[in-house]
A and B are shown apart, each in its own frame.
Chain A
Amino acid sequence: MGFWSFFFIIVFLGLTTQWYGTNKALKLNSNIKEGPKLPSLPSYYGANAFLWLVISVLFFLIVWVFSKPHILDYILIQNIPKALIDEFGGTPNMLIDIVKATDISNIFPGTNPIIIENALYYNKIDKLSDSIAYSIILFVGLTVSIFSINRISFLFKARQAVEKTNINLLILCSTIAIIATIGIILSLIFEALRFFEKVNFFDFLFGFNWSPQTAIREGQVASDGAFGAIPIFSGTLLITFVAMFVAIPIGLFSAIYLAEYAKPSVRSTFKPILEILAGVPTVVYGFFAAITVGPFLKNFVGEFGFTIASESAIAAGGVMGIMIIPFISSLSDDVIRAVPQNLRDGSYAMGATKSETVKKIILPAALPGIMGAVLLAISRAIGETMIVVMAAGIAANLTLNPFESVTTVTVQIVTLLVGDQEFDSAKTLAAFALGITLFFATLFLNIVALRIVQKYREKYD
């Protein structure tokens, strides 16, 4: 049984169950000439049967989808002769991947016949196991629908049951956010712990040397990678600093102009334009930084007789700053407009000009909100990936000179994980250690930003 035939049978079964349940309830109702009828509307009886069918089928389907690869791998490894595994040298999992990747309709000449045989076998059990699983799920679905149709009686309050089930489903959907957060934390922590088994925690956090190339063969030159993350952190901070240097003044002045000076018509034209900047995908900024800004800066600085790395921190950070402008301007704009009008009126009444009001009254009043916006922008900047991957360097330089090439946490995560590698080398695991650092750094910044905004916002209301 293929997936689609299964799918259509289930849809048909579901509709039939609903129709039959509703009809049964209608019939029960019409048999009553006097006295109370069924406690709920007939359609609720159909809906109840339908709901239980869908829930049970979906549950088993999800279980199957997630357990299928494990079961098939287990069966396959039993089938492969032990001699081949020993001869192969690598782990059995790699052999399984090879078998799975073998395309039966287009076999590469010279492939090991045992692998071809196993690939055929894999294809067979792949289809067979699907058919069996679908049949079982269908059977379960059928049982559930018969059971729930049988429950239709005068004692059964279908509406309450349906609503309770629905609300529980809604709660389940809401908890996915929690599951995702837990998943992120657990996956990062487990892999990072494995990394810290190989590399000392303090060497990672306070080391000055980062060269993650570990040996593939034993006895290779420079076989031990060095995992001191200080140059990476400093590079991230440098690029973030450059970005903020661009974004804060431009974003803040734009926000002040839009909130205090601009006529409504000007405001309604320029605000969307700033939002377009926020909607441009980061890969586009990365392209712009690498192809346009990088070479331009190189030529421009070259005119004055200086040299600048082609993947300089200033190019990546500057373009990142452009990306952050709308972030700062729209958040600050909201905060500035939230300052109550009577503060402004009071200031004007004392004879202050508009700019004096902004500088001496509004900005101090809005400062906590602006600080929050800046912190959020910083957390955004250190988590930004594509711009720096495309425009910043890979080598870890410990420098504060924005004209040199530096690397960032996100760049390192990408370079460590893109491409084929073993999954238990310190090199790949280092990416998770960097990932958890990044996760907690951004989490910390966000919490602090939120606290600042919440703590000081209500003072002026």
Chain B
Amino acid sequence: MTNNLDRVELSLVGRKRSERLFKFYGFLGILIAFLFLITILYSVISQGQKAFFTTFIKVNIFFDSEIIDPQNQRNDEDIRYANFNKIITESLKKKFPENLNKNDSKELSSFISNSEADYLSEFVVKNKDYIGKYKNMWLLASSNIDVIVKNPEMEDLDEEDRLISDKQLGWLNQIRLNKELKKELNKNFFTKADSTEPEQAGIWGSLVGSFLTLLITLILSFPVAVAAGVFLEELAPKNKFTEFLEVNINNLAAVPSIIFGLLGLAIFLNIMHLPRSAPIVGGMVLALMTLPTIIIATRSSLKSVPPSIREAAIGLGATRFQSVVDHVLPLAIPGIMTGTIIGMSRALGESAPLLMIGMVAFIVDVPTTFLDSSTALPVQIYLWKSTAARGFVELTAAGVIVLLVFLILMNGLAVFIRQKFEKKW
């Protein structure tokens, strides 16, 4: 007896140690998952927040009448076609009194975004008095300059790896010393669509594309899914057909998203001849994907409505259909809404099927109808990530931030609806 007790006593130290160790492993698992989440968020936010601001350079622009309007006719068309890039370069040159050769002025002209020439020409057309005069203006810096300003550590790199030459860096430092550099909110990012130049590219076009796509998804999937859920949960007889239906819905929920894209390509585009890259096709594909999510949500929230409601309605003479539509369904609406919003937020983050139906094109215009070519928010992120120019790295991360903000808003709304309106029976 004592012998056995001693053995137990002896083994207890090791068993307790392994108990602590096991518990620690469990906690470690959680901790690692948590750390991953933090790392992902940190890497996205630390890079993405830089893209919300952009660099402007103060230039004393001389609206040289020799370049703008040599004949002195003040004709709008002539002014529009004048070489405003030259005006910017000449004005930039005045900042640096040293003699600049032709190559230098080329390097200097790359300081300013090439969209600013258009901006200046529109400005002059509207304010013709400025021709022949000077004006201090803040001009949008080009992406390379912007990247160097935002990432000072890049100045220490070798000249080849740095995006700008030693000479340009010297000029940049001089501009900085003269306090002719400022950072401002990146309006292009929030108002424009895609562009080849990072400083002119924006998220708005793809945001609108995502909105149009999701609208189609909602219009198509919500009524169909709720109808299917109501039928399967409340009215369906138990037979082979409904069993087959349920198996199909569960299967559809597990089909990889890219397969839906192949379906869209083969049927919606090639057989039905619907337009490529259009939100209507994207919406149809995503609607098929969201269908099972909403059906399952509808069924589970119908299930949580107690049977007494149905029995009371039927007891008062309602038909089965009336009891479901007039009494059970209204009580299940909050749960259905929650499930729908979660399904929509999943559809918002989905990009693989949209790649298949061509919503991955380079689109400069903000879409306005369901038939226009457009991209979607996550696809835009993918497109920017695949672009080589350095300035797009931060834009990509900023796009991710915008996407995450929308997802948080949608999920927050879902949680709010659940807590505010859902009844506990």
A residues within 8 Å of B by Cβ?
A: 66, 69-70, 73, 159, 163, 166-167, 169-171, 173-178, 180-181, 183-184, 187-188, 190-191, 249-254, 256-258, 260-261, 270, 273-274, 276-277, 279-288, 290-292, 322, 325-326, 329, 351, 353-356, 358-359, 376, 379-380, 382-386, 389-390, 410, 413-414, 417-418, 423, 431-432, 435, 438-439, 442-443, 446, 450
Among candidates B258, B270, B382, residue contacting A283 with C-beta atoms closer than 8 Å? B382
A181 CB to closest chain B CB (Å) equals 5
Residue of chain A at shortest CB distance from B12: A353
Question: Would you list which residues of chain B between 253 and 302 have a CB under 8 Å from chain A?
Answer: 254-260, 262-263, 265-267, 270, 272-274, 288, 291-292, 295
> Which of B33-41, B82-90, B119-127 contacts the other chain?
B33-41
Total number of residue pairs linking A and B with CB closer than 8 Å: 259
Q: In the complex, what residues of A have CB within 8 A of residue B260's CB?
A: 184
Task: Please give the distance in Å from B218's CB to the nearest CB on chain A.
Answer: 15
Q: Are A183 and B256 in contact (CB under 8 A)?
A: no
Top 8 A-B residue pairs of the complex, sorted by shortest distance between their CB atoms: A383-B256, A281-B349, A257-B26, A253-B29, A187-B266, A69-B273, A355-B22, A385-B352
Q: A202 vs B57: C-alpha distance in the bound complex, in angstroms?
A: 63
Contact partners of A380 in chain B: CB under 8 A: 256
Cβ-defined contact, B23 with A282, below 8 A: no
The answer to whether B249 touches A177, judged by C-beta atoms less than 8 angstroms apart, is: yes
> Are the CB atoms of B15 and A177 closer together than 8 Å?
no
Contact yes or no, B345 A279, CB < 8 A: yes
Let me know if B140 is at the binding interface, CB within 8 A. no
Contacts of A254 in B (CB 8 A): 26, 29-30, 33
Does B33 lie within 8 Å of A159, measured CB to CB? no
**What are 19 A-B contacts with C-beta separation under 8 Å?**
A170-B235, A171-B231, A174-B245, A176-B224, A190-B266, A249-B29, A270-B30, A270-B34, A274-B30, A281-B348, A281-B407, A283-B382, A284-B400, A291-B47, A322-B36, A383-B259, A390-B382, A414-B356, A435-B262
Evaluate contact between B36 and A69: CB separation under 8 angstroms. Answer: no
Distance between Cα atoms of A438 and B345 in the complex (Å):
25
Question: Given the complex, which residues of A lie within 8 Å of B257, measured CB to CB?
Answer: 383, 385
Q: Which residues of A contact B16 (CB under 8 A)?
A: 353
Contact B400 A287 (CB under 8 A): yes
| Residue in A285, A354, A356, A417 whose Cβ sees the most chain B Cβ within 10 Å | A417
Question: In the docked arrangement, what's the CA distance between A286 and B350, Å?
Answer: 12
Task: Scan B328-366; emit 1 where CB is below 8 A from any A CB, else 0.
Answer: 000000000000000001101111100110101000000
Checking B40, B230, B244, B393 against A288 with a beta-carbon cut-off of 8 angstroms, the contacting residue is B40
For the complex, give the distance between the alpha carbons of A290 and B384 in Å.
Answer: 12
Q: Are B263 and A423 in contact (CB under 8 A)?
A: no
Which B residues are in CB contact (< 8 Å) with A325? 33, 36
Contact count band on B: 35 or more
- Enumerate chain A residues within 8 angstroms of B212, measured Cβ to Cβ: none
Chain A residues positioned under 8 Å from B350 (CB to CB): 281
The answer to whether A173 and B352 touch across the interface, beta carbons within 8 angstroms, is no
Given contacts A176-B291, A184-B263, A191-B266, 6 further A-B contacts (CB under 8 A): A167-B321, A173-B227, A181-B251, A261-B27, A270-B34, A442-B256
The answer to whether B28 touches A159 (Cβ under 8 A) is no
Residues of B within 8 A of A413 (CB): 258, 262, 356
Given A173-B223, A173-B231, A187-B262, check contact A181 B22 (CB 8 Å): no
Chain B residues with Cβ under 8 A from A282's Cβ? 349, 351-352
A435 to B244, CA, bound (A): 24
Nearest neighbor of A449 in chain B, beta-carbon distance: B254
Q: Is B109 close to A, CB under 8 A? A: no
* Given known A257-B29, A270-B30, contact A287–B245 (CB-CB < 8 A): no
Distance in Å: Cβ of A34 to nearest Cβ of chain B? 23
With a 10 A CB-CB cut-off, give which of B30, B32, B43, B257 has the most chain A CB atoms.
B30
Q: Which of B25, B44, B223, B385 contacts A390 (CB 8 A)?
A: B385
- Write out the residue numbers on chain A whose beta carbons fall within 8 Å of the beta carbon of B30: 253-254, 257-258, 270, 274
Interface centre among A170, A288, A389 (most CB of B within 10 A): A170
Residues of B within 8 A of A (CB): 8, 15-16, 18-19, 21-23, 25-30, 32-34, 36-37, 39-40, 43-44, 47, 223-225, 227-228, 230-232, 235-236, 244-245, 248-252, 254-260, 262-263, 265-267, 270, 272-274, 288, 291-292, 295, 319, 321, 345-346, 348-352, 355-356, 358, 360, 378-379, 381-382, 385-386, 393, 396-397, 400, 403-404, 407, 411
Is the CB–CB distance between B23 and A356 below 8 Å? no
Residue of B nearest to A359 (CB): B22
State the Cβ distance, B222 to closest chain A Cβ, in Å: 11
CB nearest to A72 among chain B residues: B273
Contact of B33 among A277, A385, A418 (CB under 8 A): A277
CB neighbours (8 Å) of A279 from chain B are 345-346, 349, 407, 411
Find chain B residues with CB under 8 A from A249 CB.
Answer: 29
Specify which of A176, A282, A417, A442 lies most central, judged by the most chain B CB atoms within 10 Å of its CB. Answer: A176
Q: Which residue of B lies closest to A376 (CB)?
A: B254
* Chain B nearest CB, measured from A356 CB (Å): 7
Q: Which residue of B lies closest to A168 (CB)?
A: B231
Known contacts A177-B245, A281-B407, A284-B400; A257/B40 CB under 8 A: no
Instruction: Find the residue from B22, B244, B252 having the highest chain A CB count within 10 A.
Output: B22
CA distance A291 to B263 in the complex (A): 31
- Which residues of chain B come closer than 8 Å to A285, judged between CB atoms? 40
- Contact across chains for B34 and A261 when beta carbons are under 8 A apart: no
> Are A386 and B351 in contact, CB atoms less than 8 angstroms apart?
yes
Known: A69-B272, A180-B291, A253-B28. A355 touches B407 (CB 8 A): no
Task: State whether A287 touches B381 (Cβ < 8 A).
Answer: yes
Q: Indicate which residue in B262, B265, B360, B403 contacts A281 across the interface (CB closer than 8 Å).
A: B403
Q: Of A169, A183, A250, A358, which contacts B263 at CB under 8 A? A: A183
Bound-state CA distance A277–B270 (Å) is 37
Q: What residues of A have a CB within 8 angstroms of the CB of B348 in the complex?
A: 281
Question: What CA separation (Å) do A326 and B397 show in the bound complex?
Answer: 23
- Whether A73 and B352, one on each chain, are in contact in the complex, defined by CB atoms closer than 8 angstroms, is no
Cβ contacts under 8 Å, B386 to chain A: 390
Residue of A with least CB distance to B357: A417
Asked if residues B407 and A291 are in contact (CB atoms below 8 Å), the reply is no
Chain A CB count within 10 A is highest, among B26, B358, B360, B393, for B26
Partner of A66, one of B251, B265, B272, B295: B272
Alpha-carbon distance A285/B350, docked complex (angstroms): 12
Q: How far is the CA of A171 from the CA of B19 in the complex (A)?
A: 55
**In the bound complex, what is the Cα–Cα distance between A380 and B407 (angstroms)?**
21
B393 pairs with A291, CB closer than 8 A: yes
With contact pairs A258-B30, A276-B37 given, residues A432 and B259 touching in the complex (Cβ less than 8 Å): no
- Closest residue to A270 on the B side, CB-wise? B30
Q: In the complex, which residues of chain A have a beta carbon less than 8 angstroms from the beta carbon of B26?
A: 253-254, 256-258, 260-261
From residue B31, how far is it (CB to closest CB) to chain A in Å?
Answer: 9
Q: Are A280 and B29 in contact (CB under 8 A)?
A: no
B396, chain A: closest CB distance, angstroms? 6
Q: In the bound complex, what is the Cα–Cα distance between A171 and B244 (angstroms)?
A: 13
The chain A residue with its CB closest to the CB of B226 is A173
Chain B residue with minimal CB distance to A190?
B266
* Cβ-neighbour of A274 out of B21, B33, B228, B256 (below 8 A): B33
Bound CA span A380–B266, Å: 23
Residue pair B400, A167 in contact (C-beta under 8 Å) = no
Are B23 and A257 in contact (CB-based, < 8 A)?
yes
Q: How far is the CB of B194 from the nearest CB of chain A, in Å?
A: 16
* B34/A273 in contact, CB under 8 A: yes
Query: In the complex, what residue of chain B is closest to A318 when comparing beta carbons?
Result: B36
- How far, in Å, is A376 (CB) from chain B's closest CB? 8
If A69-B274, A290-B385 touch, does A174 touch B227 (CB 8 Å cutoff)?
yes
The residue from A177, A252, A283, A351 contacting B228, defined by CB atoms under 8 A apart: A177
| CA–CA, A273 and B266, complex, Å | 39
Residues of chain A within 8 A of B231, CB atoms compared: 167, 170-171, 173-174
